[in-house]
Chains A and B, each alone.
Chain A
Amino acid sequence: MTEPVLDVRGLTVKLPPAADRPFAVEGIDLHVNAGEIVCVVGESGSGKSVTAFTVMGLQDKRALTPVAGQIMMGGEDLLKVGDRRLRKLRGEKMSMIFQEPMTALNPVAKVGEQIGEMLEIHTDLSASARKSRVIAAMEDVGLPDPPSMYDAYPHQLSGGQRQRIMIAMALVLEPVLLIADEPTTALDVTTQAQILELIRDIQQRRGMGVLFITHDFGVVADIADRVIVMQHGRVVEQGPVDQVLGAPEHPYTRMLMDAVPSMTPPARDPAAGDRALTVRKLDKVYGHAGLLGQGRQVHAVKTVDFDLQRGETLGIVGESGSGKSTVARCVMRLIDPTSGEVLIDGDDIARAREGAMRHHRRDIQIVFQDPYRSLNPRRTVGQSIVEGPTNFGLDPGEALTRAQDLMRVVGLPPEALDRFPHQFSGGQRQRICIARALAMEPRVLIADEAVSALDVSVQAQVLDLLDDVRDRFDLAMLFITHDLRVAAQVCDRIMVMRQGEVVEHGPTASVYADPQHDYTKALLDAAPGHRMLQA
């Protein structure tokens, strides 16, 4: 057996004294062989990214100190070699791609030159030789028309193209090890599928080793040869992908696998409640024409129609830029629709004036994506929950009683009402936001990517809670998401949006089983792990 390209033995990285635990990672053993993709999977705080960054020597050196273990590569211990040597190894022997292709590239430098910088640092090639190598590398990652894209700036490219630039940059010197830190998490699902295929393809052609960090078991299923599961800074399980995913041994792995929503929609009873919301020919155009016609207009939502009954969940599924969140914000009247009708109780609120609109505010409530920004950090959660009801004249004492009841409903202790948001975890805050929405006794609840920022185990619990309150309070729910797995689990009907238009609309089971539109088919095909995780 040949020597692995990367061999991490007993790695322990210390956290600063104020942290909630002494070590970011503790006694990590892992190795990557040439020609294999090793996935490190875990939830936030598991130490998976710390491990990757420490290998590169790029961890935040003020906070994280490796205190024990070895990182062996080509017979050298990377923890012992000097800065100079480590800089030489970066790029030549190992390189890295990151989660956010948006921010990982220098915004004021041409992308071609940014790839070329790698050659400038590590080779003696002339400027023209560098340029032709760069263009060859860009061709290799499937970028269109490399000679002209060479001069483009990052903001002129799409997310997928930027990530391809990053990959071309990382691989131009043909390193033996590629470290990929959640490289597709920020990308749309169809783009993600293409990037995963590209990584797999290049890795096989070159026979390099890949250390792939992810939180997504779907991605693991698609790309991994071997899997390492991490929790709280320790490796809890590792083995070949079929073994770990097929017969997980550690309870934590099993819990994570169970929490991954299935792509197969469960059987649902058809909703038969009253009509709660009607949307007709909704249009939203951002921007204005401008005096000289130089203004930019974006037609974010184009003639969207739908109805929603009480006791029913309608999912709006789409990639970024599809207009799905704009629909939610128009229905909420957080922004004004350009045209169309939003009917509640027979009243059109699309153009209602402020006073009339306020009257209808209690009918529709929303839960936002980011649990860290949707509660005012200066106010207790109790104050946040009673704000709405007291606006509508509810006596403060009664409002408090209602808030206490709702805290129980969302699974939090009522005593916690006088705490501040920073004392809660992300999942707990999302529960508080649900309680705040329910305090208004709405008919319609909009969940705008409400579980997207949560870890998969927490996500499953919040989804259960949403389903539970929908039934208990007979709500009509509008569920906005980019995640097809999540949508499959909670939606009765699905609306697929692309570039502001609804391309498909139907009962969840039939959309998943027999998609009509090509785009829906592409989306379903691109969903990661859709072959292995059918269980």
Chain B
Amino acid sequence: MFAYVLKRVAMTIPVMGVVALFVFALLRLAPGDPAAVIAGDYATAEDVARIREQLGLSEPLFVQFFTWVWSLLQGDLGTSIFSGKPVIELIGQRIEPTMLLALTTIIFSILVAVPLGTIAAFRAGSLVDRFVMLFSVGGFSVPVFVLGYILIYVFSLNLRWLPVQGYRSPFTEGIGPFLSYITLPTLTLSVIFIALIARMTRASVIEVLEEDYIRTARAKGQSELKVLMRHALRNAAVPIVTVIGIGIALLIGGVVVTESVYNIPGLGRLVLDAVLARDYPIIQGLILFFSFIYILLNLLIDLTYTFLDPRIRY
């Protein structure tokens, strides 16, 4: 087991390397002088020179890469061009709303999607199933931000049940305000995630229900509900958990958009502000940070397979 964990962790190193290389290449391979691009249209020659110096763009490429990777390994994600603050510090300031929004979304989505998908699979072809499938294909079709505005329009502007925009921290301002502000963003972001998980749950449970051991459980005289809970869902878990892991990428993209719609001061907003300001070290740092989170979560998910399926032993 320990050897497996070690091996699995080691396997993420080349993936991280590819990410780093890609992010590095992005700036250097862009057409034109990257320093000039970052400096923007109204920059003076001194500005461009300063940025070139700051990013180390005058060194040979491989020297730039290894200096950069070396500082990454020491936890240095770079320094913002405009505020002069370390990127890691900026991330620290903005991470709370993003993390909490992602967390509420994942929890809510799983709680809704797994039962929905299971019921749809059990009653495949029924009205419930068709509704779930329709919801799921619809969830993939409506853009996140349109959904956000529809929810704001209905629940905030017309019904006035919930605040329009903004964020309240549960740690400093209490759990009540937090919930009232986080509800609509969570709902908005959950729709596509629910669609994804419900769909995979349904497909996976339908497949498992065809298995011989389900027939064995019925031959024992087990009730249908218990067949579903004890035998089907447990065996369908691995693909469901896998799709949740893959969905993290979707979630990260959705967070950026949702934060923009609801005016939440999180990492998504940090990205967009950085894009407007062409503060490239921040963009670069955030891409690396999100990729790291994605790889880390998927590593953890891989390790849960051992608990979900005793056949997976390494």
Specify the chain B residue showing the minimal Cβ separation from A57.
Answer: B218
CB distance from B200 to the nearest CB of A (A): 18
Is A117 a contact of B220 with CB atoms below 8 Å?
A: yes
CB-contacts of B8-51 with A (<8 A):
none
Interface of A, helix, strand, loop or mixed by DSSP: helix
Q: Which of B127-135, B207-215, B263-271, B279-287 contacts A (4 or more CB under 8 A)?
A: B207-215
CB distance from B123 to the nearest CB of A (A): 13
Is B220 a contact of A121 with CB atoms below 8 Å?
A: yes
CB distance from A498 to the nearest CB of B (A): 27
Q: Please give, as numbers and ranges, the residues of chain A lying within 8 Å of B276 by CB-CB distance.
A: none
- Give Cα distance in the complex from A77 to B216, angstroms: 22
Is A87 a contact of B223 with CB atoms below 8 Å?
A: yes
Question: Is B273 in contact with chain A by the CB < 8 A criterion?
Answer: no
Q: Which of A30-38, A92-100, A129-137, A481-489 contacts B (4 or more CB under 8 A)?
A: A92-100
Question: Is A118 in contact with chain B by the CB < 8 A criterion?
Answer: yes
Q: Which of A104-112, A310-318, A509-517 contacts B (4 or more CB under 8 A)?
A: A104-112
Q: Please give, as numbers and ranges, the residues of chain B lying within 8 Å of A166 by CB-CB distance.
A: 216
Question: Is B107 in contact with chain A by the CB < 8 A criterion?
Answer: no
Q: Please give, as numbers and ranges, the residues of chain A lying within 8 Å of B311 by CB-CB distance.
A: 107-108, 153, 155
Is A87 a contact of B222 with CB atoms below 8 Å?
A: yes
Q: Quick one: which of A106, A155, A169 contacts B231, CB cutoff 8 A?
A: A106
Question: Is A103 in contact with chain B by the CB < 8 A criterion?
Answer: yes
CB distance from B226 to the nearest CB of A (A): 8
CB distance from A16 to the nearest CB of B (A): 15
Is A103 a contact of B221 with CB atoms below 8 Å?
A: no
* Known pairs A107-B311, A108-B234; A118 contacts B220 (CB<8 A): yes
Q: Please give, as numbers and ranges, the residues of chain B lying within 8 Å of A1 by CB-CB distance.
A: none
Question: Is B309 in contact with chain A by the CB < 8 A criterion?
Answer: yes
Question: Is A91 in contact with chain B by the CB < 8 A criterion?
Answer: yes
Question: Is B187 in contact with chain A by the CB < 8 A criterion?
Answer: no
Question: Is B179 in contact with chain A by the CB < 8 A criterion?
Answer: no
Question: Is A58 in contact with chain B by the CB < 8 A criterion?
Answer: yes
CB distance from A40 to the nearest CB of B (A): 18
* Known pairs A58-B215, A58-B219; A108 contacts B235 (CB<8 A): yes
Q: Please give, as numbers and ranges, the residues of chain A lying within 8 Å of B223 by CB-CB distance.
A: 87, 121
Q: Please give, as numbers and ranges, the residues of chain B lying within 8 Å of A292 by CB-CB distance.
A: 3
CB distance from A463 to the nearest CB of B (A): 31
* Known pairs A58-B218, A89-B221; A104 contacts B212 (CB<8 A): yes
CB distance from A490 to the nearest CB of B (A): 34
Is A107 a contact of B310 with CB atoms below 8 Å?
A: yes
Q: Please give, as numbers and ranges, the residues of chain B lying within 8 Å of A104 by CB-CB distance.
A: 212-213, 215-216
* Known pairs A155-B310, A292-B3; A105 contacts B216 (CB<8 A): yes
Is B213 a contact of A91 with CB atoms below 8 Å?
A: no
* Known pairs A107-B309, A108-B235, A294-B3; A92 contacts B221 (CB<8 A): yes
- Give Cα distance in the complex from A90 to B218, angstroms: 8
- Give Cα distance in the complex from A107 to B208, angstroms: 11
- Give Cα distance in the complex from A336 to B216, angstroms: 41
Is B235 a contact of A106 with CB atoms below 8 Å?
A: yes
Q: Mark B193-217, 1 if CB is under 8 A from A, else 0.
A: 0000000000000000001110111
Is B213 a contact of A106 with CB atoms below 8 Å?
A: yes
Q: Mark A335-350, 1 if CB is under 8 A from B, else 0.
A: 0000000000000000
Q: Please give, as numbers and ranges, the residues of chain A lying within 8 Å of B219 by CB-CB distance.
A: 56, 58, 90-91, 95-96
Q: Mark A70-99, 1 if CB is under 8 A from B, else 0.
A: 000000000000000001111110011010
- Give Cα distance in the complex from A166 to B215, angstroms: 13
Q: Please give, as numbers and ranges, the residues of chain A lying within 8 Å of B3 by CB-CB distance.
A: 292, 294
Question: Is B308 in contact with chain A by the CB < 8 A criterion?
Answer: yes
Specify the chain B residue showing the minimal Cβ separation from A101.
Answer: B212
Q: Quick one: which of A87, A155, A294 contacts B221, CB cutoff 8 A?
A: A87
Specify the chain B residue showing the minimal Cβ separation from A117.
Answer: B220
Question: Is A122 in contact with chain B by the CB < 8 A criterion?
Answer: yes
CB-contacts of B221-247 with A (<8 A):
221-223, 230-231, 234-235
Is A153 a contact of B221 with CB atoms below 8 Å?
A: no
Specify the chain B residue showing the minimal Cβ separation from A96.
Answer: B219
Is A108 a contact of B220 with CB atoms below 8 Å?
A: no
Specify the chain A residue showing the minimal Cβ separation from B213.
Answer: A106
CB distance from B242 to the nearest CB of A (A): 16
Q: Mark A35-75, 1 if CB is under 8 A from B, else 0.
A: 00000000000000000000010100000000000000000
CB distance from B114 to the nearest CB of A (A): 17
CB distance from B240 to the nearest CB of A (A): 14
Q: Please give, as numbers and ranges, the residues of chain B lying within 8 Å of A103 by CB-CB distance.
A: 211-213
Q: Please give, as numbers and ranges, the residues of chain B lying within 8 Å of A121 by CB-CB distance.
A: 220-223
Q: Which of B211, B220, B230 has the most CB of A within 10 A?
A: B220
Q: Quick one: which of B215, B230, B235, B309 contacts A98, CB cutoff 8 A?
A: B215
Specify the chain A residue showing the minimal Cβ separation from B311.
Answer: A155
CB distance from B233 to the nearest CB of A (A): 10
Q: Which of B221, B235, B309 has the most CB of A within 10 A?
A: B221
- Give Cα distance in the complex from A58 to B309, angstroms: 27
Is A90 a contact of B235 with CB atoms below 8 Å?
A: no
A-B CB contact pairs (8 Å), 27 listed: A58-B219, A87-B223, A88-B221, A90-B218, A95-B219, A98-B212, A98-B215, A98-B216, A100-B212, A103-B211, A103-B213, A104-B215, A107-B310, A108-B234, A108-B235, A108-B308, A108-B310, A108-B311, A121-B220, A121-B221, A121-B222, A121-B223, A122-B221, A153-B311, A155-B311, A169-B216, A169-B220
Kindly list 10 other residue pairs between chains A and B, CB separation below 8 angstroms, not including A89-B221, A107-B309. Answer: A58-B219, A98-B212, A98-B216, A106-B213, A106-B231, A107-B235, A108-B310, A109-B231, A118-B221, A121-B220
Q: Which 10 A-B pairs have the closest CB atoms?
A: A90-B221, A103-B212, A91-B221, A87-B221, A106-B213, A153-B310, A104-B212, A96-B219, A104-B216, A155-B311
- Which of A's residues lie within 8 Å of B, judged by CB? 56, 58, 87-92, 95-96, 98, 100, 103-109, 117-118, 121-122, 153, 155, 166, 169, 292, 294
